Amino acid sequence: MNTAATNSQEINFNILLKALQGLTMFRPMAILSISMFIGFVALLVLSRIGAGIGGFVAVLFAFIGLVAFAAFAGAGYLGAGFSLAAVVEERETPGISTSILFGIYTLPRLLGLMLIEVLMVFGLLIVEIILIEICRIPILGGLLSLVVFPGLFLMNVALTAMFLVAVNLSGPALWFGESVSNALGHVLAVAKSRPGPVFFVLLLLFLLYLIVGGILAALAAYAASFTGGLVVGSMGGAAQSALYGVSGLMSMFQLPMAYGNAMGYMGYHSTVNGSLYDYALLIVAAAFFVVVVAIPNTVLQLGLAYLYADSRGLVDLEASNAMVGKVLQKVGSAADAARKKAEEAAQQARQHTQNFAEKTSSAKTENEAVPAAPVANKKHFCKQCGATLEPDEKFCGECGSPTGN
């Protein structure tokens, strides 16, 4: 058996140990936290503006704010991955601002890559629907269903695993600076060549993420309750009022129409301290997010980066790039052929129209140029004797019978 093929099917458990190093890497945590904080501020500002106008505009601005928040969160995810990819490749780690700009620049690539993958799945779905429709044929369709239905089930199990592998490795492919075509080729090659080992490691990484996140969530929840008890016990009604304002603000993630009430309360207190207490609690919520989400997310992203780098080294990258290149070439060739056929059809239509116009014009000219032939004089004969009669003759010259003219 080929050694490379054997190694490609081995499970690298060292990736889990390497992923735990993410617990001490604060720069990727800062990149993700800063990006999401910027998105959260954009969400707050747009929501407050919309709440001031009211009506449909409030909902529209809230939706735009959510899109901005998702965009900055995606940029932070890509930027943090870009920083972790430098760790995997043992090169100089880029700065925070450079990583965030990389995330913003790469976000359209990630969306395009995900769209292509979804379209591929949609194409496979159409094929499956056609197979199912064939099974509706009387008698023959029933016999085919004995093979088609179990085959579709097994195929969908494999395709689901491959799709999860491709989706989870799409981001890491872009962290390493891959173009969309190269990333697609590498991801498809990994999903095709070693879906089992990669899928199993993915499950272990997400399990590790949940364990680390659960431990940190319990720790942060205890710290938050202890701190909240101290604050409420010392400050009384002022702290409770601030908690009410922040809880109203958090409700906007559940019901967008609550933006107006939350925005109307935040920042409008009778004292300066009352307003600052709200924002102090927001900073506490941001710190809670960093502990509960950013830290375990860094562990997960570092594991994905190591997994992609390890898998990329075990597949034939040239063959994968050639495969994607052939697909893109076929698509381009088909588009060019369709364009040429359309141009030829249009040219033929124009030529036929011109020829028809020329023929019509020529026939009209000939009809106008040739004078109408004179109608020959019609001869008359006598009904009695058959003798030839002149046109104005009243009586036959032979028998004298009246001609009727």
pLDDT, tens digit (0-9, with 9 covering 90-100), for 40-63: 888 878 877 877 777 788 788 888
Query: Do the beta carbons of residue 127 and residue 159 sit within 8 Å?
Result: no
Task: Read off the pLDDT of each residue in 304-312 and give the average, rounded to a whole number.
Answer: 88
Q: What angle do CA 34, 232, 276 make, to 5 degrees?
A: 45
pTM equals 0.67
Most confident of the following: 163-177, 245-259, 285-299: 163-177
Query: Do the beta carbons of residue 93 and residue 83 sit within 8 Å?
Result: yes
DSSP for residue 251:
G
Residues 6+ apart with CB under 8 A from 336: none
Closest CA to 319 of 195, 199, 192: 192
Q: Which two tokens stand for residue 187?
A: 């991801």
Q: What is the pLDDT of residue 62?
A: 83
Amino acid at 255: L
Reported as a pLDDT band with limits 50, 70 and 90, residue 28 is very high
Reported as a pLDDT band with limits 50, 70 and 90, residue 333 is low
Task: Read off the pLDDT of each residue in 171-175 and give the average, rounded to a whole number.
Answer: 91
Q: What is the pLDDT of residue 359?
A: 63
The more confident residue out of 225 and 171 is: 171
Amino acid at 82: F
Residue spans of the domains in the chain: they are 20-315
